[in-house]
Chain A
Amino acid sequence: MSPIFVIILMAVVTIGPRIIPAFIVDLIKFPNWVGRWLEAVPYAALGALIFPGILNVLPDRPLVGLIGGIVAIVLSLLRVHTVLIVLGASAVVYFML
């Protein structure tokens, strides 16, 4: 298969799972508990996306990602703006390289 054909099929299998829920929620009325389940998804997803992935920021030095993450937590607790949290954590990693 030519690369462009592979790319198109990659797009199909990616867009399918993304778009199907848009139609499902119109067709099915979910019971209450499913609604509560789906409401908890963002927080569970954030947790799973952060850890242990953050340890691989520098694949051979997990401590760097960990320290960068702690800096981000501290800055968030201080209610610093999101953009500054992103730049702050990146700066910390830069100095640990």
Chain B
Amino acid sequence: MAATALVFTNTQASLNFMNLVKFDDGIFVMSYNFFDHKKIGGYREKIDRGGVAMQAKLQIKKGLAVGIPIMLGYFPIAVTYGVIAQQAGLSLLELTSMSVLVYAGAAQFMGTNMLAIGAGSIEIILATFVLNFRHFVLSLSFMHRARAFPLRWKALLAMGLTDESFSVASTQPKALQEDKGYYFYIALFTGAYLSWITGSFLGGIVGDIMPSSISQSLGIALYAMFIALLVPAIKSNVRYGLIACLAMLLNYGFSKIWQEGWSIVLATVTASFLGIFLIRRED
């Protein structure tokens, strides 16, 4: 367990550790297979299934470890959401089921607020749609890369897609090629999801437990995570930085004209579209 805590992302330290895991499990699996094929052929199927289960378990472990920054970032925001929703008059069941069913931070804050001020239902639902439509673009991008995965896994993964899980998953393309790679992404997504639900529930029960200085300073946590994902990508290829800067400028301009949800969608779509030409020029 102490060692597991060392694998967070693809940094060098964790790479060493993952090799270590692979070494441990790999040796284990290899000796199994060797044993099985050469010595006791009759047990082959049973033992192969053991190897498959082990591969899945390894992917789950890696996914959970890579998801730790999201869990850390989500938890205080979810607690804050729980507190605000409870003060806005939502019952514990209502506020927790919103986290379970909707699972979208900004939309939940907005929806709670609109429910509290007695806004119309249609208005709330439309605003949620506008705010969350960016997930369509993100999901299309991730599903395109993960198109080799079985459909039921793609559908399951799509439901857990958020800005944060998408961003982390996109910078971890290795598991797309690996055996049972979908277990990696499902573990990554589920960890974040559970952190969000647990935080909301606790916020709804215990009310304002977190000192406001702590929750305010953790407000930068997810931005810091986004930066930590972007900087290594730019270092590996400068044109990613150009695309990101373009999106920043466009979003800054668009946010003066349109609602936040549309602004992010349009900035992302436009900047990535212009990215096609940047990429082509380098080819």
Contact = CB atoms under 8 A, between A and B. Distances in A.
Nearest to A11: B101
Contacts of B83: none
Interface in A1-46: 1, 3-11, 13-15, 17-26, 30, 33, 35-46
Taking residues whose C-beta sits less than 8 angstroms from the other chain, chain A's interface range is 35 or more
- Secondary structure at the B interface, as helix, strand, loop or mixed, is helix
Interface string B200-229: 000000000000011011111101111111
Contact of A3 (B94, B171, B232): B94
B125 A26 contact: no
A24 B158 CA distance: 12
Contact of B144 (A8, A25, A43, A52): A25
B223 A40 contact: no
B148 to A, nearest CB: 10
A13 B220 contact: no
Given A18-B158, A42-B170, A47-B244, A10 B102 contact: yes
Taking residues whose C-beta sits less than 8 angstroms from the other chain, chain B's interface range is 35 or more
Given A17-B133, A21-B158, A94-B213, A69 B243 contact: no
Interface of A: 1, 3-11, 13-15, 17-26, 30, 33, 35-54, 57-58, 65, 68-69, 72-73, 75-77, 79, 81-83, 85-91, 93-94, 97
Interface of B: 8-9, 11-13, 68-69, 72-73, 90, 93-94, 97-98, 101-104, 107, 111, 115, 121, 124-125, 128-129, 132-145, 147, 151, 154-155, 157-159, 161, 163, 166-167, 170-171, 213-214, 216-221, 223-233, 235, 240-241, 243-248, 250-252, 255, 263-264, 267-273, 275-276, 278-280
